[in-house]
Chain A
Amino acid sequence: AQTVTQSQPEMSVQEAETVTLSCTYDTSESDYYLFWYKQPPSRQMILVIRQEAYKQQNATENRFSVNFQKAAKSFSLKISDSQLGDAAMYFCAYRSLLKAGGGADGLTFGKGTHLIIQP
């Protein structure tokens, strides 16, 4: 079974600065998807960014980018120019393509990192 580990329970950053959230995962599969989700107090999970394991290029979405190191099984999220609205819980998640081939494509989540933005 796959596992996802987020070793930073909480991170704090000054507004407008850059912060990096860490995520490592354990899998024996070669093809999979990785995600970062944001969960504000409203509890709704919001997709921040997605990475396909077969792509070497790191995904980027505006101020959000990832550093995907497949061999190291590491998938960190960098938030540039942090804004007050970025404050939330951030979850790293894994989707098995092997299981998805059989129709089961639920996500495996880490425990999350609470991001605090200091004004």
Chain B
Amino acid sequence: EAGVAQSPRYKIIEKRQSVAFWCNPISGHATLYWYQQILGQGPKLLIQFQNNGVVDDSQLPKDRFSAERLKGVDSTLKIQPAKLEDSAVYLCASSLLNLGYGYTFGSGTRLTVV
């Protein structure tokens, strides 16, 4: 089966600009997650979707970050305006059901804010 697709793979922007990342989960996976992985740290959950509804966004900086999952398939994560500390890898993952296993991760987007 095809994996979790993410684009772009790399992105460089200046601070205060906006940026968007796209994720296409594995077909049929109802749950989708966005993680932020700052260099030297483990991934941190930003937001979890179940179909097109938000289940957990407690760690999403809502003043600048937003995410949507229209039609319960693809998802977009946006940062506006970006700050230097937003430089990180943004990982998308999906799972079939809320079963505690079967998470499949994409290869992420590496964002550099200069």
Q: Which residues of A contact B (CB under 8 A)?
A: 4, 33, 42-47, 50, 52, 91, 93, 95, 97, 99-100, 102-112
Contacts and interface: CB of A to CB of B under 8 A. Distances in A.
A26 B100 CA distance: 19
B72 interface: no
A55 B95 CA distance: 23
B55 interface: yes
Residue in A44, A91, A100, A106 whose Cβ sees the most chain B Cβ within 10 Å: A106
B100 A95 contact: yes
Contacts, number: 65
Residue in A43, A46, A97, A103 whose Cβ sees the most chain B Cβ within 10 Å: A43
A99 B50 CA distance: 14
Interface in B28-63: 31, 33, 35, 40-45, 48, 50, 55-56
B42 A44 contact: no
Contacts of A99: 56
A10 B41 CA distance: 13
Given A43-B89, A97-B100, A112-B42, A106 B107 contact: no
A109 B91 contact: no
A103 B55 contact: yes
Interface residues of B, number: 27
Nearest to A109: B42
13 contacts: A42-B107, A43-B107, A46-B105, A47-B103, A91-B43, A95-B100, A99-B56, A103-B98, A104-B56, A105-B95, A105-B100, A106-B35, A106-B48
Interface string B66-88: 00000000000000000000000
A45 B40 contact: no
Contacts of A100: 98, 100
B108 to A, nearest CB: 5
A109 B43 contact: yes
A45 to B, nearest CB: 4
B100 to A, nearest CB: 5
Contacts of B107: 42-44
A109 B44 contact: yes
A33 B102 CA distance: 13
Residue in B35, B93, B101, B110 whose Cβ sees the most chain A Cβ within 10 Å: B101
